[in-house]
Amino acid sequence: MTQEIYYKSASELSSSLSRGELSSVELTKVIIERTEAVDDRVGAFNSFSAEDALAQADASDQRRSAGQALGPLDGIPIGIKDVLAVEGQPLTCSSKILENFISPYDATCIQKLKKRGAVLWGRLNMDEFAMGSSTENSARGATSNPWNLDCVPGGSSGGSAAAVAAGEAALALGSDTGGSIRQPASHCGIVGLKPTYGRVSRFGLAAFASSLDQVGPMGRSVEDVALLLQAISGHDEKDSTSYQEDCPDYSLAMEGLKNRKWKLGLPKEYFANIADATALEPVEKAIEFYRSLGCEIKEVSLPHTEYAVATYYIVATAEASSNLARYDGIRYTHRAEKFDDKDSVDIYCQSRAEGFGEEVKRRVILGTYVLSSGYYDAYYLKAQKTRTLIRQDFVNAYNEVDALLTPTSPSPAFKKGSKSEDPLSMYLSDIYTISANLAGIPGISLPCGYSDGLPIGLQILGQPFKEEELLAIAREFEDAHDYKNQHPNL
């Protein structure tokens, strides 16, 4: 089967580049053409510069012809979620309040990609400040799901997921605070990995909720995701929460773990009361697949699961209310034209009222409330205690099993606009993903089937800093199925 170049995996493209069958400029032109052809329908990008990308590609080709290629990502176009700082490029977080901001510095993960020669490709749409599950909360406008343009791509890294699924980028960086990589990956039929908290530096990632945020890779295959994870992982002295230990060679480690008889747990709380049975079916088949490989499948309990959503929305909004205070209309953000200069706080009120969208305001207000004097103990402190219990649930589960298998999302991608008026039902679409952020553990979502023509994701949750195990387990499934070669018709 011949495949369009734009749908080839990054590892295939990397081989073609190193064999000289393809130049980075040729590849980048293909990606640009593809983007120009489909992005008016998909809407994955907030902005891109073809000229800038081609200049990077040309530099890559020159390195390669001089025998100085920088590794497997050299010359590969990688889309960047518009939440990461790239020197000289806009950084909008899909918010009006940052409409004119150009970052004067690089995020650490961006610096690492530059060192490895990647072609940084465009700014990908997202829910404003990563707050949302549908990429509808964007000042730039909603992104569409390439599998069904009437549906959302998921969020908040919906632009990243859609771009990868539609062949507008070989790989993309996303960020995941409560499922923002895994849920859109699942909705768009691609692979997305949220690393362990601390595995990837947060320096240069515009913060939503600092204790939950992680940057992570998104791609069309497990191997591609491993390649990108390798490039961005590792200790960074600019991030005090960054993990000190070195990371392994993921491709090598993945090989070494091949054919292992894993002990896999099914958290019973995740399988009770699932409304959409058709969405569960592919996940159940995936579980049967692992059983057929000789893996031990075991029911486990995460008893505090029912508190996860409430805990998450207290911790995340509290941190967000403080993190977003810097967007104030004083220095680099949108400033309202009209404000009462006799009133010292009016410049803040007017600029923030104009600059932030509804969901961001809702969360800032909620977060401000839960930290207020007199409410702190009842909300924030209690949520921190519950968070400890949730973390302990996972420690207990991992005493019994190596990893957990769950659905990524309770349903396939939903129709645009269907949940916009009901924030709570939107929040509940993260129900399987947010515990991993609260516990700090890694998780991966990979395509495992369809429901009504829309992709369904299998989530695998692993032990802290054992991303290689997640990748190895995911790859067993991927190798035995054809999902990575299935793409939307656009």
Which residues are tagged catalytic?
A: 81, 156, 180
CA dist 174 and 10 (Å) reads: 16
Q: Which residue has the tokens 């960086």?
A: 173
In the bound state with other proteins, the residue whose beta carbon lies nearer, of 37 and 349, is: 349
CA dist list (Å): 68 to 60, 189, 319: 9, 35, 44
Pairing of strands 191-194, 214-219: antiparallel
Q: What is the DSSP string of 169-209?
A: -SEEEEEESSSTTHHHHHHHT-EEEEPPTTSB--TTB--SS
Q: Please enumerate in sequence order all residues whose Cβ is within 8 A of that of 314, keeping only pairs 6 or more positions apart, or say none.
A: 370, 379, 380, 382, 383
Residue 256 and residue 474 in contact, taking contact as beta carbons nearer than 8 Å: no
CA dist 456 and 475 (Å) reads: 17
∠270-151-423 over CA atoms, to 5°? 60
CB atoms within 10 A of CB 226: 28
Residues that bind other proteins (CB under 8 A): 84-85, 91, 93, 98, 101, 103-105, 107, 202-207, 209-211, 237-241, 318-319, 321-322, 325-328, 330-332, 345, 348, 368, 371-373, 376, 380
Number of H helices, E strands in the chain: 17, 11
